[in-house]
Chain A
Amino acid sequence: MAFTPAKETYSGKVYSVAIGTGEGTGTVGGENVLPFHSFEGAAPNRPVIAFEIQDVPPADWPESVKKPFEAVSDDPVKWARFCQDELKAKAIALRLVGTHPDRENRSAEDAAKTVKDVLAAVNVPLIILGSNHAEKDAPVLVAASEAAKDKNCVIGKAQEANYKTIAAAAMANNHKIIAMSELDINLSKQLNILITQMGFEKERLITDPMCSALGYGLEYTYSVMERIRLAALTQNDATMQPPMLGDIGMYVWKVKETQAPEADLPHWGSLEERGIAWEAVTATALLVAGAELLIMRHPKAVEEVQKTIEELI
């Protein structure tokens, strides 16, 4: 019996968002099909993976992901250069985790200086993240936005509690922003609407529906992402058309499977490979669900996901 493939055409399209400046500029999104469905439409840009670095040494990262950076992670500038020059990073995500009141409680001025120094050292696009403390992130990300003026960075994360301050600063200094809500398509849509109502262009947004690690709620992130993407494409819902972010590393490298030694749990196998697989599997699943921008930690996991992306194109 002859087979006629049921190809679909979609009415909507994901916004194409450029990040960074000059030669290092990258673009995410732009497709008018479901992830990797190039057989029925156009997907002009590959997903981009950003290496995560921090403003303070990664004392809380498990050993196996700390090790590849041990020579550079005492200094965010060295760390950024290492990712760009040695690991060929397409983007870098600087997490200002040291500003968290329960951590080093670094000031907004300190954070701004780190941002300036890192920007001076690399030319790949920079994602600048707060410490996920809604209150403290507001002044920190305002200072960071100003320090990075006109560098077309991605600033995040704007949440319901602090989006006004962060979006205003990103707008004034020509940046993109990440809008994060907690695992709910309606909350995600609502936040995008609130931000655009301030006059922030929707083509400058990146949606973070909140990541979860393999085995720890991945199915929720997976399905929220699929639903957002379907709304963007099949219903042409403009509020759901920004590219999506998967903030993989920080969720993966705190779960038991990336930390428990093989000696304690022999049936879980090698810790080193298990941790890398955990990050790479989480990342690949979210790419299939619709993420266009990933933030990851382990060089080997990034390399393998990159290889898989090439095979998917």
Chain B
Amino acid sequence: MALTGVEIFKLLPKTNCKKCGHPTCLAFAMKLAQRQATLDSCPDVSEEAKKVLGEASAPPVRPMTFGAGDKAVKMGEETVLFRHDKKFVNPCAFAVEIKDTLSEADIAAIAEEVVKSEIDRVGQKLRIDAIALTNASGDAGKLEAAAKTVAAKAAGVPVIINTQNTQAAEAAVKVFSDKRPLIYGATAANFEAMANIAKANKAILGVGASGLDELSTLTDKIKGLGVEDMVIDSGARKAKEIIENNTLIRRAAIKKNFKPLGFPIINFIQREDSLHEALLGVIAITKYASIVVLSSIEKWKNLALFTLRQNIYTDPQVPMQVEQKVYPIGEPKPESPLFITTNFSLTYFIVSGEIENSKVASRLAVMDCEGLSVLTAWAAGKFTASKIAQFITESGVEKDIATKELIIPGYVAILSGSIEDKLPGWKITVGPREANAIPAFLRSRG
């Protein structure tokens, strides 16, 4: 259990020296409790306090980085069970399985598909993050050869070496030295040897067991051998077990600070039926997986899973925003209508969607209001006549359009007069209050 601000305060020097940058020791303690400060800012803290606080302040789910370079994936650091309490921290990684029984050409083809999987959504780059290379052949040489193909075709993509054969693991891990691969992994039968390989090659160790009791025992033993960075698999494969075990793991880590399960979770959800696999993906994404292993990465499936991950990992306290600019919808001509709205991503999506549904090519001017919706932005003084006038003038949209007419959201009808005053020569038209009335509104304009 994490310590409260007052409990932390009791361990601090209580000198209010301000050297940490906070006005009092109590203020600093509160920041520590919220994980917005670190103990090393305090120069006078006692060794004993360091030890107690260090243990208590270690994140309940151990943070680690999988892979190296600009494609590395951060995992762990989660602090809550429900996203409305606080943001889920590190979005889960998607890995596609490649079996070493495939031909070199097939392995290369999937590796290239992974490299090309990146898409952009609301300004975020989303992609298949990793490759799980499975030693289906059972042969160390084959795994090593496949590893070399992957390393060449998908350079920089983090790799899971999926084998319980220590010899094969050792051969493949060398292909990714200094790339921080994940070896999956360790079982009750081989954990000592696997722990040594992981340690010697600075790899993360995936630990697989059947059930949470066996898993806890195993991670504890492996930790005793000096391996700190582990990723855990409870053996859950069916939807029901995934929810149950992932929930119990996250609960144990967060609510009980139970260290043997305080590691990122890996879920294997490969299925013949790709859509069914996607739905198991929904369960893994929403219920605490850090790595989700897929059997295939069709574009339609990627888009759905990427989008869900983005939705679930959005900060519930910070609205998603889109870039301020004039967006064309369809292929607008000079006489096409011009709308304005705010840059709350949901507002943008809904308004642009309804304009699209109306099949009337238009321009949509999206104004930066710090991600607030229309009414909220207006109430907060961020969507005002003068700011709208300034944005429209600076956007230069005037030179693209035939008639200087701007359609404003019905909720801010009150602004129409003052915008006209500030934008001489423009006609301000009050549009509908709700986006779903836009198609009818556009039809009525003929």
Contact = CB atoms under 8 A, between A and B. Distances in A.
B279 A304 contact: yes
B433 interface: no
B408 to A, nearest CB: 21
Interface in A239-264: 254-257
B356 A256 contact: yes
A156 B399 CA distance: 48
Contacts of B276: 304, 307-308
B243 A5 contact: no
Interface in A1-42: 1-3, 5-6, 36-39
B311 A274 contact: no
Interface stretch (B163-171, B188-196, B253-261): B253-261
Interface in A155-200: none
| Chain B, interface SS category | helix
B244 A37 contact: yes
A102 interface: yes
Nearest to A218: B311
Nearest to B255: A6
A267 B301 CA distance: 11
A218 B316 CA distance: 12
Interface string B297-308: 011111111011
Contacts of B356: 256
B217 to A, nearest CB: 6
A219 B275 contact: no
Interface string B418-446: 00000000000000000000001000000
Contacts of A277: 275, 278, 300-301, 304
A36 B243 contact: yes
A56 interface: no
Contacts of A254: 353, 357
Most chain B CB inside 10 Å of its own CB: which residue of A1, A216, A218, A300: A1
A15 B346 CA distance: 33
Contacts of A226: 82-84
A217 interface: yes
B213 interface: yes
Nearest to B274: A273
Most chain B CB inside 10 Å of its own CB: which residue of A3, A219, A223, A230: A3
Nearest to A287: B282
Given A37-B244, A278-B304, A308-B239, A216 B349 contact: yes
Nearest to B219: A1
Contacts of B256: 6
A1 B260 contact: yes
A277 B258 CA distance: 37
Interface in A191-228: 214-220, 222-223, 226-227
B282 A285 contact: yes
A308 B304 contact: no
Contact of B316 (A3, A219, A269): A219
Nearest to A271: B300
B300 A311 contact: no
Contacts of A271: 300
Interface in A282-313: 284-285, 288-289, 300, 304-305, 307-308, 311-313
B216 interface: yes
Contacts of A223: 82-84, 316
Contacts of B300: 268-271, 273-274, 277
A129 to B, nearest CB: 16
A112 interface: no
A132 to B, nearest CB: 9
Contacts of A215: 121, 307, 310-311, 349
B304 A288 contact: no
B220 A219 contact: no
Contacts of B238: 311
A269 B239 contact: no
Interface in B235-289: 238-240, 243-244, 247-248, 251-252, 255-256, 258, 260-261, 273, 275-276, 278-280, 282-283, 286-287
B403 interface: no
A39 B244 CA distance: 7
B59 to A, nearest CB: 18
A220 to B, nearest CB: 8
B68 interface: no
Interface string A71-109: 000000000000000000000000000000010000000
B324 interface: no
A142 to B, nearest CB: 24
B369 to A, nearest CB: 17
B416 interface: no
A102 B436 CA distance: 11
Contact of B303 (A102, A230, A257): A257
A4 B360 CA distance: 61
B285 to A, nearest CB: 8
Nearest to B349: A216
Contact of B240 (A230, A256, A274, A312): A312
Given A218-B311, A256-B353, A2 B299 contact: no
A3 B307 contact: no
A276 interface: yes
Given A255-B353, A274-B300, A3 B312 contact: no
Given A280-B275, A284-B282, A312-B240, A3 B301 contact: no
Given A36-B240, A38-B240, A312-B239, A280 B279 contact: yes
30 contacts: A3-B215, A3-B216, A3-B252, A5-B252, A6-B256, A37-B244, A39-B248, A214-B307, A215-B121, A215-B311, A222-B286, A223-B82, A223-B84, A257-B307, A267-B299, A268-B299, A268-B303, A273-B301, A274-B304, A277-B300, A277-B304, A281-B282, A285-B286, A285-B311, A305-B279, A307-B279, A308-B283, A312-B239, A312-B243, A313-B240
Q: Which 6 A-B pairs have the closest CB atoms?
A: A269-B299, A269-B300, A274-B300, A311-B239, A3-B216, A219-B311
Given A226-B82, A268-B300, 5 more contacts: A37-B244, A226-B83, A269-B299, A273-B298, A311-B238
Interface of A: 1-3, 5-6, 36-39, 102, 214-220, 222-223, 226-227, 230, 254-257, 266-271, 273-274, 276-278, 280-281, 284-285, 288-289, 300, 304-305, 307-308, 311-313
